[in-house]
Amino acid sequence: SQTIHQWPATLVQPVGSPLSLECTVEGTSNPNLYWYRQAAGRGLQLLFYSVGIGQISSEVPQNLSASRPQDRQFILSSKKLLLSDSGFYLCACSFASQETQYFGPGTRLLVL
């Protein structure tokens, strides 16, 4: 079965600094990958999804970008963080024949 790793677990960054969050998947190949953001007291907002290397779809316009340099690696980035980027970022994966999504442990980002 698949295992999703997210790094780092917690991050405190100043406004205007860059960001790089990493998600890697073990135990499977060619997964669909997702980045969600969960703000305090809210549900999950889908930010990006990817069906393959170099293929990224964005769900909402924002200050963030995503990349998929390898089959099992998904990176969330920003050139300049905003206060509103604070939140809990979750990576998830699914497979072409299934709609079930499996989630990583998350990264808590605090922008000060």
Partner 1 sequence: AQSVTQPDIHITVSEGASLELRCNYSYGATPYLFWYVQSPGQGLQLLLKYFSGDTLVQGIKGFEAEFKRSQSSFNLRKPSVHWSDAAEYFCAVGYSGGGADGLTFGKGTHLIIQP
Indicate whether 86 belongs to the interface with partner 1 (CB under 8 A). Answer: no
Please tell me the distance from the alpha carbon of residue 34 to that of residue 111, in angstroms, as a whole number: 22
Identify which of residues 16 and 59 has a Cβ nearer to partner 1 in the complex.
59
Indicate whether 44 belongs to the interface with partner 1 (CB under 8 A). Answer: yes
Write out the residues near partner 1 by the rule CB under 8 A: 4, 6, 32, 34, 42-44, 46, 49-51, 57, 88, 90, 92, 94, 96, 99-106, 108
